[in-house]
Structure 1
């Protein structure tokens, strides 16, 4: 097991993900200063629906972007490995921040294959929303991690994906999500079109009785 300083947040961070943070609480200013001085990492466990959950992602501080006169900081971080908390301590001994003994987990399935049906659903969703989203990334990153924040999944559902070690299973879960929401989005868009038509002259075919 490994001891890791912990910074719980109401979000899910995935390995390889870039995350910018504004640090203002004294306990986390202490944590980040130690990470900068000692070149050590910290963990972001997910805090969802008022509960600290058991999984999170180890991150490293890539850059101190700005340090304010009152001690606040803007930092750039990057996700590394997924962990499971074995023993949570709040606060850690002699510190202001929390920490815990963790076990690091490995992805069982690191396939770079992307389910073609999943891609078609994503493209359909973006067409419906009339948006263009860039989910390509030059360095290797499992596709599910690249797209998960960009298809309207809740934090709780993102957390469930974090606990799944198989890329194929994660992509299957994303397909289930898209199959569920695309009909809803389709109906919303149709409703918007009907509302837009309200008040305009309409040419209607006469009904024959």
Structure 2
């Protein structure tokens, strides 16, 4: 089997998309995910965040069928944690490698486990000269108090990184930003984001 394929990789279905280099704040309260986060922190390991199909619930209910998961996901590593005022565990995760879900199953604990293939990343390209407006938009987004708490920087070194950061922060439906996760070429990803922004501005 290819070294790029990993078996029994823990998956965390969400109604949000995590992008490489992006960050998400999560509230953890289900036992299956509390155990997962504990194990990841002890072993310094990661888990995968995958997008739920529209209408699917993030919370497991008795007798509920396994939800439909997206074909692409992103590795998540815990970079911060705290006990929230409501007593729940709050964590901040940062996105790492992208992966494709080849197959998945739900364990007896309710945790989703996947056979995933890690994506071969294309080398990023320098920021094109016409990205000034996107860079300005990123600076505006990262100045928001909520984003400041996540610790995300407005400094990016390439086109792919710029797209990932904007896609993580823009207040757009996850179903609209998710396709960007599957685009390998940084330049193609930049063009796709530009088209998406134009669509919402029109």
Question: What is the TM-score with the length of structure 2 in the denominator?
Answer: 0.74
3-state SS, counterpart of residue 141 of structure 2: coil
Task: Give, in whole Å, the separation in 2 of the partners of 1:69 and 1:176.
Answer: 41
3-state SS, counterpart of residue 133 of structure 1: helix
3-state SS, counterpart of residue 166 of structure 2: helix
Contact 2:78 2:94 (C-alpha < 8 Å) held by counterparts: yes
Task: Give, in whole Å, the separation in 2 of the partners of 1:163 and 1:170.
Answer: 9
Give the superposition deviation at 1:159.
Answer: 0.8
Aligned to 2:77: 60
Task: Give, in whole Å, the separation in 2 of the partners of 1:96 and 1:152.
Answer: 30
* Residue-by-residue CA offset, 1:73-126 (whole Å, 9 max, x unaligned): 1112111110111120112xx64411111011132241132350x544786xx6
Aligned to 1:73: 89
Among 21, 42, 66, which residue is 1:37 paired with? Answer: 42
3-state SS, counterpart of residue 164 of structure 2: helix
Contact 2:79 2:94 (C-alpha < 8 Å) held by counterparts: yes
Task: Give, in whole Å, the separation in 2 of the partners of 1:121 and 1:139.
Answer: 11
Contact 1:90 1:98 (C-alpha < 8 Å) held by counterparts: yes
Aligned to 1:145: 164
Contact 1:48 1:155 (C-alpha < 8 Å) held by counterparts: no
- Counterparts of 1:1-209 in structure 2 under 5 Å? 1-3=5-7, 4-49=9-54, 50=56, 51-66=68-83, 72-91=88-107, 95-114=109-128, 116=130, 118-120=131-133, 132-134=140-142, 137-138=154-155, 140=157, 142-183=161-202
Runs (4+) off by over 6 Å: 67-70
Give the superposition deviation at 1:26.
Answer: 1.2
* Residue-by-residue CA offset, 1:2-29 (whole Å, 9 max, x unaligned): 1311110011100111222110011111
Contact 1:13 1:57 (C-alpha < 8 Å) held by counterparts: yes
Task: Give, in whole Å, the separation in 2 of the partners of 1:40 and 1:150.
Answer: 25
Q: Which has the higher contact order (CA 8 A, sep 6+)?
A: 2
RMSD of aligned residue pairs (Cα, Å): 2.7
